[in-house]
Copies of this chain bind each other. A is one copy, B any other.
Amino acid sequence: MIVCTGSIALDTTRTPFKTVERILGGSASYFSFCASFFNKVGVIAVVGSDFPEKHWRELEDKGIDLSGVQRKKGKTFHFDSSYSFDLYARTANKTELGVYSGFKPVVPDHYKYAEYVYLGTTDPKTQLATLKEFPERKIAFMDTIGLYIKENRKDLLKVLGEVDGFVLNDEEARMLCDTPHLLKAGRKIREYGPRIVIIKKGEHGCLVFHEENIYAFPAFPLEDLVDPTGAGDSFAGGLIGQLSRERKINETALKRAVAYASVMGSFVCEDYGLDPLKRLDEKRIEERFNIYRNMTNW
């Protein structure tokens, strides 16, 4: 079983082409939806009393275990943001934490034997406390955001000392290590603890630091980029999803997992919110995986 923590949100996303309001979003939604194509997933999160039953069912119908999702009186985490014309830069218009503020994860008993753990972005203290609940874990990955790098560095480094893997984007890596050089940043982060560090570069792919090795993956080139929201968490969903299907986490397994991650990260950008994921099945994932394999191997 894979367990993830993170947010379930109602997103308002404004692109130069269209605005979608209060659609299903949040790191745990994207991650769990993607990972559930690979394995059984349990979510730890919180929603408010305004959370539409429809969204709950969308996740549940995908076979995602929501017994770790608390329903609290109040408002669901709401994030309103706008994309620039090239769909690259995102500006936050409004962040209403609602019930997510002060969220204390409660881990259902049957989650506790999970071997694969993904700590989506929350404050590092909560990430660390949650991690301790999984004594049987084989692989734990984490994500974070600039806010915690800037304001909670000490706690962040503590979590980094306990996880196996860390996915972050290029900007965050530069910020965390105070260097413009991604190679130097990647190596430095490895010294903080995780034996796998993946620096994502959006449409330019990612760099993977695995023990003493470095691998470079291009992104799957997209015909039409519509909404990049959730790309990072979908990437992580494909990554942990595939790792959970591998017998042994060696170089070959990790590279294959990064390939699935790149594929899942590409699908999600082809339409708004989780819509492109809802249209997905194993066959289309395998098809794109094979195209990507031929595109990148030589």
Q: Which positions in A face B, CB cutoff 8 Å?
A: 86, 180-183, 201, 204-205, 207, 213-224, 252, 255-256, 258-259, 293-298
Contact = CB atoms under 8 A, between A and B. Distances in A.
Q: What DSSP secondary structure best describes chain A's contact surface?
A: mixed
A183 B215 CA distance: 24
A216 B295 contact: yes
B297 A298 contact: yes
Contact of A218 (B205, B222, B224, B297): B205
Given A86-B180, A297-B297, A298-B256, A221 B213 contact: no
Nearest to A204: B204
Give the top 3 A-B pairs by smallest Cβ distance, nearest first: A255-B298, A216-B218, A204-B204
A298 B298 contact: no
30 contacts: A181-B223, A182-B221, A183-B221, A183-B223, A201-B204, A204-B204, A204-B205, A205-B205, A205-B216, A205-B218, A207-B221, A214-B221, A214-B295, A215-B294, A215-B295, A215-B296, A215-B298, A216-B219, A216-B221, A217-B218, A217-B296, A218-B218, A252-B298, A255-B298, A258-B298, A293-B298, A296-B296, A296-B297, A296-B298, A297-B298
